[in-house]
Amino acid sequence: MSIQQKSKIMLYPKIGKFVIIFFSIAFIAVGIRAYQLYQYIFKENVKKEYVLLVPQKTTYNQVIDSLAANDVLVNYKAFKWVVKKKKYFELVRPGHYIFRMGMNTNQIVNMLRAGLQDPVDVTFSNIRSKEELAGQVSKYIEADSLSILNLFYDENIINEYGFTPEAFRAMFIPNTYEFYWTTTAKEFADRMKTEYERFWNEERRKKADEIGLTPVEVITLASIVQAETAKNEEMKRIAGLYINRLKRGQLLQADPTVRYAVGDFTLRRILNSHLETESPYNTYKYTGLPPGPINFPETNAIEAVLDFEKHNFIYMCAKEDFSGFHNFAVTLDEHNINAARYRAALNANNIFQ
């Protein structure tokens, strides 16, 4: 065997060794990278629970800036890598998204990319005016208070739902409802009409018919009852009193309607000058119910009208102890005694308006 042949034999094992080392290193590098990418995709990547609101026309950069400013993610590099692979920057969808502990990057990007937003609970209650309604609801959904308030001035929308402008607020029954944050003002109104129809089921409509009132009239009377008392245990009795007056064709003479007509809900003492206010809502001047609710009555006030207490009372007056309860009377003489006591209490406490 020649020297040249021996050299070749010695060389080939060295080349084979280098190849093995090269591929081993490459395999390890690929494995490390694969593990890194696996971690990027599937490792938990939420540092703290966070609610991300993404308004219309939000850019990807604004999303990442919001997450960074609030220190939400553990690994932003991983988030950006998955975003790039899934092209989320081209598909930013508005919504209300909850970043929960335990979510991995893949889940986060899939949620944002598909617009899988979490619904929000919208609660509105204890509301007197449409401005208050708009203010409360706009805290929960993307629609601003002005767009919600404008619903009450849009006659086309009001007619679409089958209401008069005065009765339109009857459609908005206070409760807690589930909405998507991206809800528009019109979508909010659509849902309220659906909930109104759901509330007025066959049983409730039958009760209203037996009283001789329409659903809107029931809600209108409920708004007066609610304005008269914060005591739930008195609501049915007060409802029965006003129904007695309606059946007799008497003036309701409800002080809350005068406050509404005057435009001052802070009045504690109704004076003769207030009773002369010219308004269809002034039940000291006009018989029957006002043309629409004077507030947004709660369901307990509506149910109090539908299940009113049957009695003979036709007069009521706030108790002189300012407890929030009332004295009820069948005759005018009894009522005058109760009213005199209440006026004396007002005078003694220097309450003149």
Chunked mean pLDDT (size 10), the chain, 353 residues: 53 55 48 52 90 95 96 94 91 95 95 95 94 96 97 96 97 97 97 98 98 98 96 96 97 95 85 90 96 97 98 92 90 91 83 59
pLDDT of residue 268: 78
For residue 47 the two structure tokens come to: 């540092």
Are 182 and 107 in the same domain? no
**How many beta carbons lie within 10 A of that of residue 128, not counting itself?**
18
12 contact partners, CB below 8 Å, separation of at least 6: none
For residue 251 the two structure tokens come to: 């003036």
Are 168 and 239 in the same domain? no
What size, in residues, is the chain? 353
Are 257 and 337 in the same domain? yes
Among 92, 118, 144, which residue terminates a domain?
118
Are 129 and 109 in the same domain? no
Residue 4 belongs to a domain:
no
Strands (E), 100-196: 120-124, 175-179
pLDDT of residue 41: 78
CA distance 172 to 188: 10
Residue 10 belongs to a domain:
no
- The structure's pTM equals 0.84
Are 308 and 185 in the same domain? no
pLDDT of residue 351: 66
Q: At what angle do helices 215-228 and 232-248 cross, to 10 degrees?
A: 120
328 contact partners, CB below 8 Å, separation of at least 6: 237, 241, 311, 313, 315, 316
337 contact partners, CB below 8 Å, separation of at least 6: none
CA distance 150 to 11: 88
Strands (E), the chain: 50-54, 95-99, 120-124, 175-179, 315-318, 326-329
Are 188 and 60 in the same domain? no
pLDDT of residue 26: 47
For residue 15 the two structure tokens come to: 């080349």
The count of structural domains within the chain is 3
Are 184 and 220 in the same domain? no
CA distance 317 to 324: 10
Among 160, 131, 161, CA closest to 146: 131
Are 257 and 301 in the same domain? yes
The strand pair at 95-99 and 326-329 is best described as unpaired
Residue 3 belongs to a domain:
no
Are 183 and 166 in the same domain? yes
Are 130 and 256 in the same domain? no
Residue 318 belongs to a domain:
yes
Are 328 and 262 in the same domain? yes
Among 90, 118, 146, which residue terminates a domain?
118
Q: Residue for token digits 């929308």?
A: 157
Residue 302 belongs to a domain:
yes
Are 253 and 297 in the same domain? yes
CA distance 271 to 252: 17
**How many beta carbons lie within 10 A of that of residue 91, not counting itself?**
13
Residue 353 belongs to a domain:
no
Among 118, 146, 176, which residue terminates a domain?
118
Asked whether the beta carbons of 75 and 37 are under 8 A apart, the reply is: no
Residue 205 belongs to a domain:
no
Domain span at 274: 212-348
pLDDT of residue 1: 54
Residue 88 belongs to a domain:
yes
